[in-house]
Amino acid sequence: MSQQTGKTPGSGVVSSDKMKMWGGRFAERTAASVEAFTCSVQVDSRLYRQDIAGSRAHARMLARQGLISDEECGLILDGLEEIEGEISRGEFVFRPELEDIHMNIEKTLAERIGPAGEKLHTARSRNDQVALDFRLYLREETDRLQDLLAGMQRALVDQARRWRRAVMPGYTHLQRAQPVLVAHHLLAYYEMFKRDRQRLADCRRRINVLPLGAAALAGTGLPIDREYVAQLLDFPEVSANSLDTVSDRDFAVEFAAAASLIQVHLSRLAEELVLWTSEEFSFVILPDAFCTGSSIMPQKKNPDVPELIRGKSGRVTGHLMSLLTLLKGLPLAYNRDLQEDKEPVFDIVDTVSASLALAAELMAGLRFNEEKLTAALSRGCMTATDLADYLVRKQIPFRQAHAIVGRTVAYALEQGRDVGELSLPELRRFAECIDEDVFAVLSVSGSVASRNSTGGTGGERVDEAIARAEAELG
Ligand code: ARG
């Protein structure tokens, strides 16, 4: 930001420090390089609504306590409203020499309404003011993320219902393991996002504490009423220790951690979509509108959206690290380092919001290729565990059953066949107790249907899970 010089009509050019709100004790003007380095308004102007909401509540409290007159309060409220309108319409001129959003608003107010504006900062410091703005901001954003998460969950449940009967290979170690319902796989993500929502709700409780009134670090000797401000701004709680209040950012770290998990969950889903759209899997078809082509290979349809969602998890988790590192080693109470807390959080909010919105849209447009799923299920001896369970039901100890089926699988693979394709006499070579009823067990549909333990992929359980999820989403 460039150094600007404040001009007072009739007095010629004055040092910009005469215009600074803290300029009183300074003999020299601030170096241009320092102004540029310390200025944050280009980032924190994003908090203007919260800053004005906080100032409104503060002014009303000051008036109620007799610290300013009702008339002065009225002037402040009107002035703030005018400024808010200008900022929202893009008409407000931000002055970098005024450092941050707080001083840009306050100084402009004072210039417009005179001494009443200069009273607004009574019993307040930017240290508690910025903490308030940041908490108000994150309180709103956690609520917005809750809605986006609900949208993502909705898309997953809708698809789970739509593909209710489709079966796909379930994997461990990315090796075909056991057949599962597509719906079951999708609902796994539903559960992840459900926990993400719980984490955000929990984090919101700690965000939702009023910091204003801590003042610079030690509280104030003026007769303020913090509880009244809390009531005006809808905070159920007032912070307990002024030193902690102005130096605490753990609410932001918690938010970043919760958001990182959301992005990591999205990234895992994205990775699966990338895999599943490859020719090798061909399990799903992404809508054309969500893919891009190659400038050299005309046949390509690339899954860029899931790739970017996956890629963006790097910056979100990176921001979490920045915040933790920012706090490490900071002595109490406020330190200017804390100004660095906003950029990472804003970028987390932007990145996670955009990723969630895109992922929900993408999920809603996803189609499964049932033919390919069925073909994939016919290879990999995916019902081998079912055969072992069958033997267990015939009183063979599980470890022995496991060994028997291992030999059976080896035999089938030698023949280039699947266990499900062996004849009864062939199967009996490995265990005499095997009867005709084994084929129901060895079929993919039989395998899935049998897994009705709580939380399993059996159709009844998955139907219940879909119904439960739908009820939860309301
Ligand atoms: N721009 C500062 C921040 O974001 C506001 C608080 C400044 N306080 C101070 N004592 N310099 O942290």
| Alpha helices (runs of H) in 212-366, residue ranges in sequence order | 226-232, 242-247, 250-277, 304-327, 342-364
* pLDDT tens-place string over residues 356-386: 999 999 999 999 999 999 999 988 888 999 9
Q: How far is the CA of 437 from the centre of ligand 1 (A)?
A: 75
Q: What is the pLDDT of residue 20?
A: 80
Transcribe 29-48 into DSSP letters. PPPHHHHHHH--HHHHGGGH
- What is the distance between the alpha carbons of residues 184 and 277, in angstroms, rounded to a whole number? 19
Residue 173 among the catalytic residues:
yes
Q: Residues in the chain with pLDDT < 50?
A: 1-15
From atom 3 of ligand 1, which residue's Cα is the shortest distance away?
339
From atom 4 of ligand 1, which residue's Cα is the shortest distance away?
339
The number of beta carbons lying within 10 Å of the beta carbon of residue 137 is 22
Among candidate residues 92, 4, 97, the one with its CA nearest the CA of residue 48: 92
In the chain, DSSP finds a helix count (H) and a strand count (E) of: 21, 6
Q: At 169, is the secondary structure helix, strand, or coil?
A: strand
Q: How far is the CA of 239 from the centre of ligand 1 (A)?
A: 19
In the set 173, 295, 423, 453, the catalytic residue is 173
Q: What is the pLDDT of residue 6?
A: 39
Q: Which amino acid is at 107?
A: K
Q: How far is the CA of 71 from the centre of ligand 1 (A)?
A: 29
The helix, strand and coil proportions of the chain, stated in percent and rounded to the nearest 5, come to: 65, 5, 30
Asked if 358 and 332 count as a contact pair (C-beta separation under 8 A), the reply is no
For CA atoms 14, 17, 19, 23, give the dihedral sign. negative
State the burial class of residue 34 (Cβ atoms within 10 Å of its Cβ: 0-12, 13-18, 19+): exposed
Asked if 361 and 281 count as a contact pair (C-beta separation under 8 A), the reply is no
Any atom of ligand 1 within 6 Å of the Cβ of 51: no
238, β-bridge pairs: 210
Q: What is the pLDDT of residue 5?
A: 40
CA atoms within 13 A on the CB side of 332: 9
Q: What is the largest CA-CA distance in the chain?
A: 108
Any atom of ligand 1 within 6 Å of the Cβ of 267: no
Transcribe 392-413 into DSSP letters. HHTT--HHHHHHHHHHHHHHHH
- Residues 6 or more apart whose CB falls under 8 angstroms from that of 5 comprise 13, 14, 15, 16
Any atom of ligand 1 within 6 Å of the Cβ of 100: yes
Q: How far is the CA of 130 from the centre of ligand 1 (A)?
A: 7
Among candidate residues 48, 54, 50, 152, the one with its CA nearest the CA of residue 91: 48
pTM: 0.92
The number of beta carbons lying within 10 Å of the beta carbon of residue 409 is 18
Asked if 160 and 366 count as a contact pair (C-beta separation under 8 A), the reply is no
Q: Which amino acid is at 340?
A: E
Detail the DSSP E strand segments found in 159-214.
167-172, 175-181
End-to-end CA distance of the chain: 50
Q: Tokens in use for 222?
A: 């003026």
Any atom of ligand 1 within 6 Å of the Cβ of 127: yes
Among candidate residues 17, 13, 33, the one with its CA nearest the CA of residue 25: 17
16: left (phi over 0), alpha (psi -120 to 50) or beta: alpha
Residue 450 among the catalytic residues:
no
* pLDDT tens-place string over residues 408-445: 999 999 999 989 899 999 999 999 999 999 998 899 99
Residues in the chain: 474
From atom 7 of ligand 1, which residue's Cα is the shortest distance away?
126
